Amino acid sequence: MDEFALIERYFRRPDQPPGDGVVLGPGDDAALLLPPAGDELVMTLDTSLGGHHFPDDLPAADVGHRCLAVNLSDLYAMGARPLWFLLSVTLPQADEAWLAGFAQGLFDLADRAGIALVGGDVTRGPLSVSIQATGAVTPGRALRRSGARAGQRLAIGGVPGQGGLGLRHWQAGERASVSARHLARPAFPLDLGAALVGRAGAAIDVSDGLLQDLGHILKASGGLGAELDLATLPVNEELAALDEADRYPLQLTGGDDYCLLFTWPDARPLPPGTSDIGMITEKGPILLRYPDGRTEPARPGGWRHF
Ligand code: ADP
Ligand code: MG
Q: What is the pLDDT of residues 17-53, one digit of tens each?
A: 899 999 999 999 999 999 999 999 999 999 999 999 9
In 3D space, the residue among 78, 147, 89 whose CA is nearest the CA of residue 117 turns out to be: 89
pLDDT value of position 302: 36
Ligand 1 centre to CA of 187 (Å) is 29
Ligand nearest to the CA of 89: 1
Ligand 2 centre to CA of 126 (Å) is 17
**What residues line ligand 1, using a CB cutoff of 6 Å?**
7, 11, 26-29, 87, 89, 117, 119-122
pLDDT value of position 1: 77
Peptide bond into 285 cis (omega under 30): yes
Show me where the domains of the chain are located: 3-137, 145-297
Look at residue 10 and tell me whether its pLDDT is greater than 60.
Answer: yes
Q: Best mutation site among 4, 7, 24, 130 for ligand 1, i.e. most ligand atoms within 8 A of its Cβ?
A: 7
Q: What is the pLDDT of residues 75-134, one digit of tens each?
A: 999 999 999 999 999 999 999 999 999 999 999 999 999 999 999 999 999 999 999 999
The number of the ligand 1 atom at minimal distance from the alpha carbon of 4 is 6
Burial tier of 11 (Cβ tally within 10 Å: 0-12, 13-18, 19+): buried
Q: What is the dihedral of CA 298, 246, 173, 259, to 10 degrees?
A: -40
Burial tier of 247 (Cβ tally within 10 Å: 0-12, 13-18, 19+): buried
The average confidence (pLDDT) of the chain is: 94
- CATH superfamily, domain 145-297, is PurM-like C-terminal domain (3.90.650.10)
- Asked whether this chain's domains 3-137 and 145-297 adopt the same fold, the reply is no
The number of the ligand 1 atom at minimal distance from the alpha carbon of 3 is 6
Q: Which fold has domain 3-137?
A: 60s Ribosomal Protein L30; Chain: A; (3.30.1330)
pLDDT value of position 188: 83
Cα(8)–Cα(10) distance, rounded to whole angstroms?
6
**What residue owns the CA closest to ligand 1's atom 20?**
121
